Amino acid sequence: MSNEKNVAEQEETVESVNTEVEAEILDADDVVVEDASEEVDESTAKIAELQAKLDETENKMLRAQADFDNFKRRTRLDQEAAQKYRAQSLVSEILPALDNFERALQIEADNDQTKSLLQGMNMVYNQLAQALQNEGVETIKSVGEEFDPHLHQAVMQVEDENFDSNTVVEELQKGYKLKDRVIRPAMVKVNQ
């Protein structure tokens, strides 16, 4: 019987050891599962953080690209405007000389020498006017036109039955446009 008792005690010991080993294995599995789930959580958080940084970087890149495209467009428009109106400062400086030529050409010639001088001045005036016209300069129509504050500068008002209200009666100084830009508005008298 003592053999049987020893065998039974050994079986109990083996069973007890097996139970302890199984418990330790289960505990180890729980630890491994917890460690794996913590790693998954950390990886998920890291992925979310990296995705947010990627989205932010993409947004910055898109904004930078849009800013660059806008810069290119503005630069192109500025260059086109500079090319289109390149003669503006020169035209502005020549207009007073053109005005003086017009005033000088209005004098009455009483002898051949004065007539000859006026003829030469008229030729120079016509060349200047043609050169300005070639650059896109044109005179602003005034007399008989409706007053437009963008094109005309009213310096006087008169009452004249021959003209409608708010109509230009007389031009005191010519106005000029370069392409579609007003260089100098026409100085005019306007009917009330």
- Give the residue, 77 or 19, on which the prediction is more confident: 77
pTM of this structure: 0.59
Judge whether 88 and 183 are in contact, CB under 8 Å. yes
What integer is the mean pLDDT of 145-165? 90
Phi, psi of 190 (to 5 degrees): -120, 140
Question: Across all residues in the chain, what is the average pLDDT?
Answer: 86
CA–CA separation, 189 vs 143, rounded Å? 9
> For 44-94, what is each residue's pLDDT tens digit?
999 999 999 999 999 999 999 999 999 999 999 988 888 877 888 889 899
**In which band, very low, low, confident or very high, does the pLDDT at 29 lie, cut at 50, 70 and 90?**
low
CA–CA separation, 40 vs 137, rounded Å? 75
1 has pLDDT over 60: no
pLDDT of residue 7: 67
Antiparallel, parallel or unpaired: β 176-178 and 137-139: antiparallel
pLDDT of residue 164: 86
Judge whether 98 and 135 are in contact, CB under 8 Å. no
